[in-house]
Structure 1
């Protein structure tokens, strides 16, 4: 987090490595889970006339204008083709996308969240496999594993994000912190110092299920006995009443004085506004909100700060990352050649770079040049030891909700032991 890091050097490193630094510094479980039996693969039409209208289904409304400009450029290359965006809010997309894209009523090209949604879509046979398709060669092979299942590449994760608190670097400087806290005591001391300077130390969207759980990624990354902690909670090998998770819940209780008022009912929009106005020092979501916060008028420089919940000696990871926004071609699409052509277009380094720099999202396409100042500011995290965001190991969203709700319940005043026992009862019922 040191502001002494030369940002231009970071960018040169990033561009030369083509995201390789991120891969070598990361240890990510759950990339290609094998619990669901996939349907028979459908062939993908990668050749044929590029014409007809393609429906592109996704959840990034904030990217609409950027993608619209990319579509215009695509149509200039393919005058007989067209692409229409079908956008749903992220929470709705997570719950309804499979029903909507089955049979290609929408989503000739579509996106998926890593984890449960990706697995559900694979099982339903909606993907046309991309294994062997030329487009896969444009991506870092070691960053697209979350789009594979049992050795078959069904989708291509397009975005690389850091699911950990976004920081107002000016606020950190004013509080006297120029390096990231290396342990839990140091993180609490940072929050104390920020509070003393008049900031809400940590803005948390506790009322938004899609984003409230992002903080859990970093809260468990060093507490858990293994990197596949949530896979094991889901299987029954671990329980939320285990000591390591009770420790996590107790630490949520320690964070309560540093959250904004009525944190468990706060929306993402409300806390993003609080952060953008300079009233909150940390925003407990992730780097994917950088562009949105800029659009709200934020002028301060960004950084990322992950809570290390152990001592420095016991910490295995400095933060978390995720590869998501998994692009795939619908097996039932009647315009597959055009959908695939648009996928290839988005995967061209120049076009992927245009998407990245305008949306503030790192991408997994190799050879992209980053000019966005915010992407350059967080580029040092590409060299740090990060864990593939464990929250998305859950394949049963009811179990994930029970685990995340336990943390929210503690922030709301419930004793950690009671919150854990109630969550474990839900998990046991789901597994029965």
Structure 2
């Protein structure tokens, strides 16, 4: 890996055309973390859904998800689904991501809501699978239309495919390329000192260097992915903390907290009390150099009027020669069919529809998010612009190694506490105290 990552726009745009994902993924996006993955009741072939019917769907599908910003695109897809299946309908049931994390399992369990539903990779998928919500997909023919490596997060321990991760996202900060260029930044930093110098340069130009939503746990924790990717002693260090084999007080995580302390002057005022929505507006208006959430917010900031080129950047927290990863990716939004209630056949038909490369392209290009479906043609300018990240050395988002949300919250809250003024040592001790209680 080179010490510097160029911002050369010609490299981003030249020759990409209407990019398909197949060639870009031939080198594999990044390592797949299996430790700390899904667990729960095994699903046998007898338990799995029968192959999707060739008949047209009938009845109404309740589709539960958290992506309110995708509603219009899903409405377009639903209209096309209705045209193919005149006696069927899909009704979206959308909750904010924080609420979806905490309440979706109970809402979906009864079967009236979420005939078809999604889960976050990691803890939520594990919990929903343990609760028996996911009807095993068995050998549905449309599964072969996905990149096999990218849908492992939707498998049970026996490798039965319970759900289909649909989104391929990059959980790392966005950056305003025009603002960087105006500030005289010609190359992205390849080490920690360079990243701090970048923040200082942006601050000197009157910008908020990093818009970080420290008051919104669901998105405050996105930054931790790239902050720890090169600090971790191994790729499963968060899973090791949850297993009791490592601690939040270990040197590598304490060092990460000290780096959050160094970043505090660059987060802007009241960062620990701010949610992502006002920061999206700040970034879209050109007043922030970086938005520390992920590629899943590109569409939102475009809707807020951002017209500048948007790139992706991850802080390299070590020296350039020690950096193992350039950034973070995640395969999430795990589509599934509810075991409860009725209407599984129509819900399965909806999943088959979304799995068609033509329909997946409508979703991807309309939401500025890559997908895990093969042979998708990307025409969205932002997807093409950031396509080189599909071939970079990226790590599967480590925050989702935690299957216990209380333990994950304790670790992520330590970062927020440090930004609020708590010493790294105290924040680490308090986090480990909560973890120790959970592990008793």
In which range does the TM-score fall when normalised by the shorter chain? over 0.9
Take 1:83 and 1:35, find their aligned partners in 2: how far apart are those partners? 30
Structure 2 gap segments, 5+ residues each: 1-5
1:232-281 CA-partner distances (Å, limit 9, x unpaired): 01011110100000100000000011111011101111111111111000
Take 2:348 and 2:23, find their aligned partners in 1: how far apart are those partners? 23
Tell me what 1:275 maps to. Answer: 283
Larger displacement relative to structure 2 (363-372 or 124-133): 124-133
1:417 CA displacement: 0.4
Indicate if the aligned counterparts of 2:30 and 2:396 stay in contact, CA closer than 8 A.
Answer: yes
Tell me what 1:302 maps to. Answer: 310
Indicate if the aligned counterparts of 1:329 and 1:340 stay in contact, CA closer than 8 A.
Answer: yes
Tell me what 1:3 maps to. Answer: 8
Tell me what 2:212 maps to. Answer: 204
Take 2:103 and 2:180, find their aligned partners in 1: how far apart are those partners? 40
1:107-149 CA-partner distances (Å, limit 9, x unpaired): 1110100000000111111111113111101111111111112
Tell me what 2:106 maps to. Answer: 99
Match of residue 28, structure 1, among 28, 32, 43:
32
Match of residue 359, structure 1, among 343, 367, 370:
367
1:367-398 CA-partner distances (Å, limit 9, x unpaired): 01111111111111111100000001100000
Larger displacement relative to structure 2 (278-287 or 335-344): 335-344
Measured at CA, do residues 16 and 145 of structure 1 come closer, stay the same or move farther in structure 2, by a change above 3 Å?
Answer: closer
* Equivalence map 1:157-168=2 (5 Å): 157-168=165-176
Tell me what 1:124 maps to. Answer: 131
Larger displacement relative to structure 2 (244-253 or 4-13): 4-13
1:384 aligns with 2:388: no
1:326 aligns with 2:330: no
1:193 aligns with 2:197: no
Larger displacement relative to structure 2 (33-42 or 341-350): 33-42
1:133 aligns with 2:144: no
1:12-61 CA-partner distances (Å, limit 9, x unpaired): 5951625524x624113147725544477733142265101111111111
Take 2:382 and 2:79, find their aligned partners in 1: how far apart are those partners? 26
Tell me what 2:319 maps to. Answer: 311
Measured at CA, do residues 84 and 121 of structure 1 come closer, stay the same or move farther in structure 2, by a change above 3 Å?
Answer: same
1:334-391 CA-partner distances (Å, limit 9, x unpaired): 2122111111111111111011111111111100111111111111111110000000
Structure 1 gap segments, 5+ residues each: none
1:50-83 CA-partner distances (Å, limit 9, x unpaired): 1011111111111111101111111111101111
Take 2:64 and 2:360, find their aligned partners in 1: how far apart are those partners? 18
Indicate if the aligned counterparts of 1:53 and 1:83 stay in contact, CA closer than 8 A.
Answer: yes
Tell me what 2:3 maps to. Answer: none
1:44 aligns with 2:49: yes
Take 2:419 and 2:235, find their aligned partners in 1: how far apart are those partners? 25
Take 1:88 and 1:414, find their aligned partners in 2: how far apart are those partners? 33
Tell me what 2:422 maps to. Answer: 414
1:299 CA displacement: 1.1
Take 2:21 and 2:336, find their aligned partners in 1: how far apart are those partners? 27
Measured at CA, do residues 337 and 36 of structure 1 come closer, stay the same or move farther in structure 2, by a change above 3 Å?
Answer: closer
Tell me how large the CA RMSD over aligned residues is: 1.7
1:3 CA displacement: 2.1
Q: Please report the TM-score for the alignment, with normalisation by the length of structure 1.
A: 0.96
